[in-house]
């Protein structure tokens, strides 16, 4: 996956939310606009070559000062937003760094 390709598909509205992403979006009270902003200014933090459902990646971006993580995959020709959330301790020390506990689980 390439961030330029993901951004181009977001700009063309060629993306879909999974049911899980919608649940997580609501739990963190994130808007669609905030998620789009984060995708358009974000970068790939982690690549997942194949998790059993195909290639995916974790993007970190910002809506204003708010950090947002978005896990993206492919659904046909569209980007699939698998999950979206605000990174918080203990899983993340900051938007770019996993917490020690999370490293032990992986």
Catalogue all structural domains in the chain, each as residue range(s) with its CATH number: 3-105 (3.30.2310)
Distance, in Å, from the CA atom of 88 to the CA atom of 15, rounded to the nearest integer, reads 26
- Segment 40-61 shows an average pLDDT of 90
pLDDT of residue 51: 67
Residue that the structure tokens 């790939």 belong to: 44
pLDDT of residue 50: 78
What is the maximal distance between C-alpha atoms in the chain?
39
Q: What is the mean pLDDT of the chain?
A: 91
Q: Which pTM was predicted?
A: 0.89
pLDDT of residue 106: 41
């Amino acid at each position: 996956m390439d961030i330029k390709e993901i951004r181009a598909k977001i700009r063309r509205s060629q993306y879909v939310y999974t049911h899980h992403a919608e649940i997580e979006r609501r739990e963190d009270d994130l808007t669609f606009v905030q998620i789009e902003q984060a995708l358009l200014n974000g970068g790939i933090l982690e690549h997942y070559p194949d998790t059993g459902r195909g290639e995916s990646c974790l993007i970190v971006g910002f809506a204003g000062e708010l950090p947002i993580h978005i896990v993206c995959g492919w659904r046909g020709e569209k980007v699939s937003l698998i999950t979206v959330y605000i990174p918080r301790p203990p899983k993340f020390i900051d938007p770019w760094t996993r917490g020690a506990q999370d490293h032990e689980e992986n």
